[in-house]
A and B are shown apart, each in its own frame.
Chain A
């Protein structure tokens, strides 16, 4: 009996093929997305593990970086520090982990003098000096994805693989590079990667440049000595490798995880003090290039879960609505079966099995295609960061968790309609009482002034308030996927590109060694270029209320309003020299995180020196945490007069090799803008698949609603057709309904999208990166109009259905 019942149900379901396919597609997309995102996150994490591993294949990422770019420590100073640290370590009883290595390195900004058929140009660069026997922070040369070997002799260099294609470099090429006033030629012996340069952003910047606009090279220690003209072993950075990976604080979490590394840092501070060295000490969480990529990965992991849940929710709502509609359309059949004595449980089984069968088909398809989606995303990420992702597997646990949770959602979605089907009262259904209902008087009064067709449209639309609400929730969630990413992207673009593009007026920023601005200023005067001297260093730090050390940039400007880099002050005023305390402006994000207010006096650390400052203003949101000083004040604190010079170049004057030789690097504003835009584009592209998935869902949900609305109203539409109503006049009615659903859906969608954007921004925001959300009217309108258009675009389907309605059959139905 139950086999026949289930066969009957299967045939009934097959009659509603379009809706059935829509539901299967929903399940498919949910599983596909779950496996795609789950596999993507799993393999991404594996990629960093492989790269940073402390083994022969990996690069052995350091645990602590101790640096001071305005100083050069002699080999003896480095050695004394390391001896002192090893000695302190041995006598320390609070830690059981051991120190594997303490190594001095030189990392310096510089330039590559690159020439090709288009001429010669200077490329902003960074050079690492890495001894052949280095333990930590080695060049990563993955087999099959790198070329050559590491640099050993004084004239060898490895260039980062991110740029070799763009610069058309190959093994054996001779490259001319400089640092400060020295230039030298090196032979390219290897093309590889480095864990600190996964994202090719110049130091101090969060934005990668266009390919080939920033070069990182890895010399041997002898090569670095040759380039800088200093003794082998001279260092401005000391790196420590500790056994295992001691826990460090993750800046994007509320908890403090850095207790293990703090013990190490205390020992480091003691040894620095003993050896009278000033330096910044950073762990992995404070080293921006590492932290950016960790947060990027964490962001991908974090968004995977809510996005999958959102997709599953939309699928669940669609399944519930569709099954409910199915039960409703079958009420007469169910009533007949019940009258014939079929038990409730027999009926219920069918309605419970149906969603499982639908879910099974969707899950199978999703599981088959999921790995393909994962590979697509990994390929995309690989192109974005320029690192090979070799290991690509989808663990069985991901298949299991995604399919199990989806099937659970699908099963639960079927329970209510199944229960409803088994509870139908045969007498009520067969007597037609279940079709009878009394309209709402409130609605009648509200719509009585309207044309009857419009009034009917509105009343029909709100006839099933729960279903309508669920539809709007599904549309809202779909638009949350689509709109929140758009809103966040628009906010990011307006904040970061807006200021640099519209407010700042410099053409090139020339980086110099400490206080070596003279030749650059001479060059500017000889070329009639305007200039502005600035100090900009990532050397500020402060301990927040949780006792966590927060790192920020310090910037010294001469003019905050009419200079080449104006600061947008949203509260308070501008710093003045008062002879007592340096007055500063701090960015909105830092002020919020630290809970500071304008007028307060605070103590911060600048390059390791404790300094009291007075907060006089707040600047509008910036991606990086920044404290602005008057340059004179900052110069007094740091002892540095300038770290770079902004230039406004007159018509016909361009950055040339003379300027390159005076500098440690040059950034052109247009290139920087292109880099930011490129990063924003890339980030947006990562989310674009989800955005379009959201759009697709909006279309499917609206389409499903429309099908149900028309199908449910077959009865009354057929009546009107028999009575002579033209399809165009009925089409107009459907258009009113679509418009109404579209307008309400659009408003709900914008609200959901804004809520989603706030949530998404909050989940991405941390001390390092504040992600602002601004409601840009054009984005909100775009969403509204989009939903309305989708709703209206569904009207032709309703009209098509009206046209192909078999009125003879309908009249039979109407007479039964």
Chain B
């Protein structure tokens, strides 16, 4: 597998009145294309900060972060946005679909904003996540699980290289969580997308190919696992 990204000795320190907080403290790892990684750790361990640095939402204060051998921009909002637009897909815990747009239009909007509107692809993606019957419905008219599947379809609509998710099943029951994860793994596999998800749900490990555990801003374990689930 080709190497997708490499973080070396990455730091994210915050100056606070109480002193320096080391949210990330010398994190190093590589991710190859096609991997499905789950970041596990307790609250305040630094996993969300790591996700934010991976997505270029946040700028590390030290270390290097290379994506396809190129340095990822930091401290430059427009360049960071551009990096995200070209490479990153993002799934939120609370779906964050636009309530005034239909399911289909939520996907079309992202394509339009990235400059490659593709009506048939948007429909195909909804089919991929099992929502072809709901394309003209508003988010308020479908269930939470369905909304999250729309959010997944939306996040991969512009063909990102890396898909990130923060507690994306945290708001769903176990059965729905499994359905969402199955849809996600299926979509990533079909679209050849690498993915990194933050969770505290050990039950989701079965959908990953690698699990990184983090605590106090440091990686405490990084293990590849023999995946039990390999997509639909």
Which residues on A are within 8 Å of B, measured CB to CB?
Answer: 432, 435-439, 443-444, 451-453, 455-456, 459-460, 463, 715-716, 719-727, 729-730, 803, 807-808, 811-812, 814-816
Closest partner residue, chain A, to B140 (CB atom) = A438
Q: A724-B88, A815-B93 are in contact. Are A456 and B166 (CB under 8 A)?
A: no
**In the complex, B204 has a CB within 8 A of chain A:** no
**In the complex, B101 has a CB within 8 A of chain A:** yes
Q: Chain A residues with Cβ under 8 A from B167's Cβ?
A: 815
Contact A811 B88, beta carbon cutoff 8 Å: no
| Contact with B113, one of A455, A729, A803, A815 (Cβ below 8 angstroms) | A729
Contact B166 A811, beta carbon cutoff 8 Å: yes
Contact A460 B96, beta carbon cutoff 8 Å: no
Contact A723 B94, beta carbon cutoff 8 Å: no
Looking at the assembled complex, report how far the CB atom of A432 sits from the nearest CB atom of chain B, in whole angstroms. Answer: 7
The docked-state distance in angstroms from the alpha carbon of A86 to that of B160 is 106
Closest partner residue, chain B, to A812 (CB atom) = B48
Q: Chain B residues with Cβ under 8 A from A452's Cβ?
A: 101, 105, 108-109, 112, 117
Contact B81 A721, beta carbon cutoff 8 Å: yes
The docked-state distance in angstroms from the alpha carbon of A815 to that of B93 is 5
The docked-state distance in angstroms from the alpha carbon of A432 to that of B139 is 13
Looking at the assembled complex, report how far the CB atom of A463 sits from the nearest CB atom of chain B, in whole angstroms. Answer: 6
Looking at the assembled complex, report how far the CB atom of B226 sits from the nearest CB atom of chain A, in whole angstroms. Answer: 31
| Contact with A724, one of B112, B113, B140 (Cβ below 8 angstroms) | B113
**In the complex, B78 has a CB within 8 A of chain A:** yes
Contact A811 B99, beta carbon cutoff 8 Å: no
Contact B101 A455, beta carbon cutoff 8 Å: yes
Rank and list the top 10 A-B pairs by shortest CB-CB distance, nearest first.
A724-B85, A438-B140, A459-B100, A725-B113, A724-B84, A719-B96, A439-B138, A452-B109, A439-B100, A815-B93
Q: Chain A residues with Cβ under 8 A from B52's Cβ?
A: 808, 811
Contact A722 B141, beta carbon cutoff 8 Å: no
Q: Chain B residues with Cβ under 8 A from A432's Cβ?
A: 94
Can you offer 5 A-B residue contacts whose CB atoms are under 8 A? A452-B109, A459-B101, A722-B55, A815-B167, A816-B94
**In the complex, B128 has a CB within 8 A of chain A:** no
**In the complex, B215 has a CB within 8 A of chain A:** no
The docked-state distance in angstroms from the alpha carbon of A807 to that of B101 is 23
| Contact with A453, one of B78, B86, B89, B113 (Cβ below 8 angstroms) | B113
Q: A453-B112, A724-B158, A815-B166 are in contact. Are A716 and B85 (CB under 8 A)?
A: no
The docked-state distance in angstroms from the alpha carbon of A463 to that of B99 is 10
Q: Chain A residues with Cβ under 8 A from B89's Cβ?
A: 723
Interface centre among B98, B102, B117, B140 (most CB of A within 10 A): B98
Closest partner residue, chain B, to A810 (CB atom) = B57
The docked-state distance in angstroms from the alpha carbon of A807 to that of B78 is 12
Closest partner residue, chain B, to A807 (CB atom) = B57
**In the complex, B194 has a CB within 8 A of chain A:** no
Closest partner residue, chain B, to A719 (CB atom) = B96
Contact B96 A716, beta carbon cutoff 8 Å: yes
Looking at the assembled complex, report how far the CB atom of B72 sits from the nearest CB atom of chain A, in whole angstroms. Answer: 14
Q: Chain B residues with Cβ under 8 A from A723's Cβ?
A: 84, 89-90, 110, 113, 154-155
The docked-state distance in angstroms from the alpha carbon of A291 to that of B230 is 95
Interface centre among B57, B89, B136 (most CB of A within 10 A): B57
Q: Chain B residues with Cβ under 8 A from A720's Cβ?
A: 109-110, 113
Instruction: Tell me if A's interface is mostly helix, strand, loop or mixed.
Output: helix
Q: Chain A residues with Cβ under 8 A from B136's Cβ?
A: 444
Contact A437 B99, beta carbon cutoff 8 Å: yes
Q: A438-B138, A439-B99 are in contact. Are A726 and B166 (CB under 8 A)?
A: no
Looking at the assembled complex, report how far the CB atom of A741 sits from the nearest CB atom of chain B, in whole angstroms. Answer: 16
Looking at the assembled complex, report how far the CB atom of A802 sits from the nearest CB atom of chain B, in whole angstroms. Answer: 10
Q: A444-B102, A455-B105 are in contact. Are A726 and B96 (CB under 8 A)?
A: no
**In the complex, B67 has a CB within 8 A of chain A:** no
| Contact with A456, one of B93, B98, B114, B117 (Cβ below 8 angstroms) | B98
The docked-state distance in angstroms from the alpha carbon of A721 to that of B138 is 21
Contact B99 A456, beta carbon cutoff 8 Å: no
Further contacts, 14 of them, CB under 8 A, given A724-B113, A814-B94: A436-B139, A439-B100, A439-B101, A439-B138, A439-B140, A453-B112, A716-B96, A722-B84, A723-B84, A724-B81, A724-B84, A724-B88, A811-B166, A814-B96
| Contact with B102, one of A435, A439, A814 (Cβ below 8 angstroms) | A439
**In the complex, B33 has a CB within 8 A of chain A:** no
**In the complex, B32 has a CB within 8 A of chain A:** no
Tell me the B96-135 residues at the A interface (CB within 8 Å): 96, 98-102, 105, 108-110, 112-114, 117
Q: Chain A residues with Cβ under 8 A from B78's Cβ?
A: 726-727
Q: Chain A residues with Cβ under 8 A from B182's Cβ?
A: none
Contact A815 B105, beta carbon cutoff 8 Å: no
**In the complex, B82 has a CB within 8 A of chain A:** yes
Closest partner residue, chain A, to B168 (CB atom) = A815
Looking at the assembled complex, report how far the CB atom of B134 sits from the nearest CB atom of chain A, in whole angstroms. Answer: 13
**In the complex, B58 has a CB within 8 A of chain A:** yes
The docked-state distance in angstroms from the alpha carbon of A815 to that of B58 is 16
Looking at the assembled complex, report how far the CB atom of B140 sits from the nearest CB atom of chain A, in whole angstroms. Answer: 4
Contact A715 B96, beta carbon cutoff 8 Å: yes
The docked-state distance in angstroms from the alpha carbon of A729 to that of B113 is 6
Tell me the B50-78 residues at the A interface (CB within 8 Å): 52, 55, 57-58, 77-78
Q: Chain A residues with Cβ under 8 A from B57's Cβ?
A: 722, 807-808, 811
Q: Chain A residues with Cβ under 8 A from B108's Cβ?
A: 452
Closest partner residue, chain B, to A729 (CB atom) = B113
The docked-state distance in angstroms from the alpha carbon of A438 to that of B102 is 9
Looking at the assembled complex, report how far the CB atom of B126 sits from the nearest CB atom of chain A, in whole angstroms. Answer: 15
Q: Chain B residues with Cβ under 8 A from A727's Cβ?
A: 77-78, 81
The docked-state distance in angstroms from the alpha carbon of A452 to that of B82 is 21
Closest partner residue, chain A, to B80 (CB atom) = A807
The docked-state distance in angstroms from the alpha carbon of A379 to that of B154 is 66
The docked-state distance in angstroms from the alpha carbon of A720 to that of B98 is 9
Looking at the assembled complex, report how far the CB atom of B156 sits from the nearest CB atom of chain A, in whole angstroms. Answer: 11
Looking at the assembled complex, report how far the CB atom of B176 sits from the nearest CB atom of chain A, in whole angstroms. Answer: 16
The docked-state distance in angstroms from the alpha carbon of A455 to that of B96 is 18
The docked-state distance in angstroms from the alpha carbon of A439 to that of B141 is 9
The docked-state distance in angstroms from the alpha carbon of A145 to that of B223 is 98
Looking at the assembled complex, report how far the CB atom of A116 sits from the nearest CB atom of chain B, in whole angstroms. Answer: 69
Tell me the B139-158 residues at the A interface (CB within 8 Å): 139-141, 154-155, 158
The docked-state distance in angstroms from the alpha carbon of A816 to that of B93 is 8
Contact B94 A815, beta carbon cutoff 8 Å: yes
Contact B92 A453, beta carbon cutoff 8 Å: no
Q: Chain A residues with Cβ under 8 A from B85's Cβ?
A: 724-726
Closest partner residue, chain B, to A722 (CB atom) = B90
| Contact with B92, one of A444, A451, A456, A719 (Cβ below 8 angstroms) | A719
Closest partner residue, chain B, to A460 (CB atom) = B100
| Contact with A438, one of B77, B114, B141, B155 (Cβ below 8 angstroms) | B141
Q: Chain A residues with Cβ under 8 A from B166's Cβ?
A: 811, 815
The docked-state distance in angstroms from the alpha carbon of A722 to that of B154 is 12
The docked-state distance in angstroms from the alpha carbon of A437 to that of B57 is 29
The docked-state distance in angstroms from the alpha carbon of A715 to that of B96 is 8
The docked-state distance in angstroms from the alpha carbon of A700 to that of B216 is 49
The docked-state distance in angstroms from the alpha carbon of A158 to that of B89 is 90
The docked-state distance in angstroms from the alpha carbon of A29 to that of B108 is 46
Q: Chain B residues with Cβ under 8 A from A816's Cβ?
A: 94
Q: Chain B residues with Cβ under 8 A from A451's Cβ?
A: 112
Q: Chain A residues with Cβ under 8 A from B82's Cβ?
A: 724, 726
The docked-state distance in angstroms from the alpha carbon of A807 to that of B83 is 14
Q: Chain A residues with Cβ under 8 A from B77's Cβ?
A: 727, 803
Binary A-proximity of B160-177 (CB < 8 A = 1, otherwise 0)? 000000110000000000
Q: Chain B residues with Cβ under 8 A from A437's Cβ?
A: 99, 140
The docked-state distance in angstroms from the alpha carbon of A463 to that of B98 is 12
Contact A726 B140, beta carbon cutoff 8 Å: no
Q: Chain B residues with Cβ under 8 A from A729's Cβ?
A: 113
Closest partner residue, chain A, to B99 (CB atom) = A437
